[in-house]
Amino acid sequence: TKRRVGPPGGSPAILVVGKDELGDWAAEIGHQDGTPEGCHVLNQQGYDLGDSIAIAGVRWPKAAPFRRPDRMPLLGQPYDQGSRFCLDENAQVTEVLAR
């Protein structure tokens, strides 16, 4: 489940609510200066899973289209240290920003 949150005219965030084997969880993901418009940023280590990316213990689906970074990790391997992940308003990864 996802929903846009934030002040009118401000930089909106998305609120994502989920459930896994550990129970219910929620994440508010905001915009970060210097990133593309509509990019809600996750800064934790991510691992490529093919059709999704595991970030902070959550499997985030890749959007179509997904903008690939210059260096893609092998399946199951981490993205470069310091990579940031842009999520769209549907909580799908649109691109990976290298530092």
How far apart, in whole angstroms, are the C-alpha atoms of residue 86 and residue 78? 16
| Residue 94 token pair | 């649109």
Task: Please identify which residue in the block is written with the tokens 């690939």.
Answer: 68
Report pLDDT digits (tens) over 41-62: 999 999 999 999 999 889 999 9
- Confidence band, pLDDT 50/70/90 cuts, at residue 72: very high
- Strands (DSSP E) contained in 1-99 are 2-5, 13-20, 23-29, 40-42, 46-48, 52-55, 58-67, 84-87, 93-97
* Whole-structure pTM value: 0.84
Taking the C-alpha atoms of residue 38 and residue 56, their distance in angstroms, rounded to an integer, is 21
